[in-house]
Amino acid sequence: MMNDYKTTVGIEVHCELKTNAKMFSDSLNNYGGVANVNINEIDFALPGTLPTINQYGVELGIKAALVLNCTINKKVVFDRKNYFYPDLPKGYQITQARNPIGVNGYVEIEVDGKKKKIGIHDIHLEEDTCKSTHADTKSYLDFNRNGVPLLEIVSEADMNSPEEAMAYLEKLRELLLYANISDCKIEEGSMRCDVNVSVSKTDQLGTRTETKNIGSISSVGRAITSEAARQIRELEQGNVINEETRRFDEKQERTILMRVKETGNDYRYFPEPDLPPYLITDSDIDKVKETIEVMPDKRRAIYLEKGISLVNADKLIQNKQLSDFLLGLEDIDLVIASNLLLGDISSYLNRCEKSLKETSLTQAKLREVTIMLSEGKITNKVFKDILVDLMETDLSIPEIIEKRGIKTISDESALLEIITKVIAANPESVKDYHDGKDRAIKYLMGQIMKETKGQANAAIVSRLLQEELNK
């Protein structure tokens, strides 16, 4: 029965911007920590106070419009969105209803090998509300979040499955992170998702519902599945779908009614009288363009061109600090460098709960150790032995090797003796090699490294082993 229905999804995403101050006051944008310390009279809209526009917040809005392929509205105008709720001390929210900073954008996603453009209707700047928490019979408000700059990204209703919706959010998060617009921490509320879902048997869209503030990207997928199934059940029973606001219960895996959905008229939008229009020039846009880093798609293309697998390329993109670390190192073997970063180095960082910036590892060190590994001057075992010193001291690699008393065996006669011994002890592997089985030489190399305790020069061993096997 479900196959008879087409699901249509649109998503509204709210992202907190990475500014020092709030959107319309000089209060610190520092949500978290001690509650209710980053607030002033402007945030409360006390009589006699006037808001001012955070210029850097506008610049981040311009940057978002650029990376999301939007047309930029050069006249930034703000509006009041009126509603009464405890988390809104002014009784209204300053937002953009008539002149959003960006319109008619798109992002490209890929699901099951098929690419698809998801349209972005508009992006607009606004301010965040207070953080509400509820305990027993009481509710508490943290005003630190009140006035924090927000970017709302409104998609077109172009998605037709939970998988497409999740891919869209992943791509959006990726772009905003790499453009340094937002930290996009969904679990901490700096990126929040409201999902509009409708089902229909025809090309005409059904009545949509909105499920608000879903806590993770995977939960978005489950919420869409649940809400689409609920609407289909209702329609099959002859009931009508009402336009309403719902929430997703993670434990019960179902959406729950919160209220009948408001309309634009309910909010009584009107121009914000205390803020004059902000005019964006071509020069402003050009300056913002210069601040945009190498974006994920270009990085992914570089990685693939250098021989990094698609799986590892995606892992690097998902971890910006690792991806940033590889920038500028295209002149070395990126396959080796990426394996080091994704393998032993990442394990060290996770174990020690550190970021790369908190270690002594530099790009120069990574370049040097990658070259040494590619030339066979050190082995993977040696790298593992020197890793802690690499990460925790300012010693050079030769100094670390000397300190630890690690020697690399490069004497060809000594290595040839070991190679001959290993070949004699493994006649079946020798036969496998001559039969064209690739794993054989890897096995023999492993045995040689075992005999030398990982200290043999791998490049020399590889050459000598090949020569001996081909005699």
Band (79; pLDDT cuts 50, 70, 90): very high
At residue 163, the pLDDT reads 97
Q: Tell me which residue of 43, 69, 135, 62 sits closest to 101, measured CA to CA.
A: 62
Question: Which run of H or E residues covers position 247?
Answer: strand 244-249
DSSP one-letter code for 150: E
**Residue 445, pLDDT score:** 80
Task: Categorize the per-residue pLDDT at 330 as very low, low, confident or very high, splitting at 50, 70 and 90.
Answer: confident
Closest Cα to residue 106, out of 71, 73, 75? Answer: 71
435 pLDDT more than 80: no
Q: Are 419 and 430 in contact (CB under 8 A)?
A: no
**Phi–psi pair at 100, nearest 5 degrees:** -60, 150
CB atoms within 10 A of CB 223: 28
- What DSSP designation does 394 have? -
Give backbone dihedrals phi and psi of 25, rounded to 5 degrees, phi first: -150, 170
Give the three-state DSSP class for 65: helix
Outline where 282-333 has alpha helix (H).
282-289, 296-305, 310-318, 320-326
N-terminal to C-terminal alpha carbon distance within the chain? 69
**What pLDDT sits at residue 222?**
96
Distances in Å between the alpha carbon of 311 and those of 287, 307, 308, 315, 338?
Answer: 35, 11, 8, 6, 11
For residue 280, which of 94, 101, 19, 38 has the smallest C-alpha distance? 101
Q: Look at 46 and 460; give whichever has higher pLDDT.
A: 46
Q: Are 410 and 452 in contact (CB under 8 A)?
A: no
What integer pLDDT is reported at residue 264 of this predicted model?
A: 56
* CB-neighbour burial class of residue 427 (10 A; exposed 0-12, middle 13-18, buried 19+): exposed
Q: Mean pLDDT across the stretch 237-241?
A: 92
pLDDT confidence of 466, banded at 50, 70, 90? confident
Q: What does the pLDDT read at residue 443?
A: 84
Q: 427-434 and 458-469 are packed helices; what angle lies between their axes, rounded to 10 degrees?
A: 80
1 pLDDT exceeds 60? no
Higher pLDDT, 43 or 283: 283
DSSP 192: E
- 340-385 confidence digits (pLDDT tens): 999 999 999 999 999 999 999 999 999 999 998 887 777 788 889 8
Sign of CA dihedral 350, 356, 357, 361: positive
Q: What are 192-202's pLDDT values in tens digits?
A: 999 999 999 99
pLDDT tens, position by position, 381-401 = 888 989 999 999 999 888 888
The Cα–Cα gap between 377 and 369 comes to 9
What pLDDT is attached to residue 261? 67
Say if residue 411's pLDDT is above 80.
Answer: no
Tokens encoding 435: 């039969």
CB of 14 within 8 A of CB of 152? yes
Query: 255 or 372: which carries more pLDDT confidence?
Result: 255
The matching CATH number, chosen from 3.40.50.300, 3.30.450.20, 1.10.10.410, 3.50.50.60, for 412-469 is 1.10.10.410
pLDDT at residue 115 is higher than 90: yes
Spans of all domains in the chain: 2-284, 296-403, 412-469
Q: What is the arithmetic mean of pLDDT over 170-178?
A: 95
What's the chain's Rg over C-alpha atoms? 29
pLDDT of residue 437: 78
Average pLDDT, the chain: 90
* pLDDT tens profile 256-296: 998 886 665 678 899 999 999 999 999 999 999 999 999 99
User: Which pLDDT score is estimated for 119?
Assistant: 98
Collapsing DSSP states into helix, strand and coil, what is residue 84? coil
Residues 165, 157: Cα–Cα separation, whole Å: 10
Q: What is the DSSP secondary structure assignment for residue 345, as one 8-state letter?
A: I
Burial class (CB in 10 A: 0-12, 13-18, 19+), 305: exposed
